[in-house]
Amino acid sequence: MNSRLVLLVAAVGISTYLMRLIPLALTARFSAKGALPPRLRGFLAAVGPSFVAVFLVYSILPAPGGIDLFRVALKLAALIPVALIYLKTRNFGSAVLAGLAAYGALFFVAA
């Protein structure tokens, strides 16, 4: 394996680990003392929606080779259950799982 590839994989792994560790450590530290400070509470409330937004943008953007209209249409159709589940439950996890299931089912049926 190329050493640059190993460094890239290590950097991605470390950044992913830190994105999960830092909010967890801050929450544990401040919840042991009592209530969370308002800025930390606001930060933690924004983490979930920001991840969903990143996944949405990444999944909708076309690949470097060009736009595959079939896949774009499937992704847009899979957003409908995501919106419906989120509006009903206000749970990002359930909404993402519904989107994954809808995309998989649509891809299986249409392909």
Q: Which pLDDT tens digit goes with each residue over 47-67?
A: 778 877 887 777 777 767 777
Average pLDDT value for residue range 76-82:
88
CA–CA distances in Å: residue 33 to residues 21, 26, 28, 36, 53: 19, 11, 9, 8, 32
Residue 84 pLDDT level (bands cut at 50, 70, 90): very high
Pair 106, 85: CB distance under 8 Å: no
Average pLDDT value for residue range 13-21:
89
| 34 phi and psi angles, rounded to 5 deg | 140, -125
Pair 80, 95: CB distance under 8 Å: no
Domain boundaries, the chain: 1-36, 41-111
Per-residue pLDDT for 75 more than 90? no
Per-residue pLDDT for 8 more than 70? yes
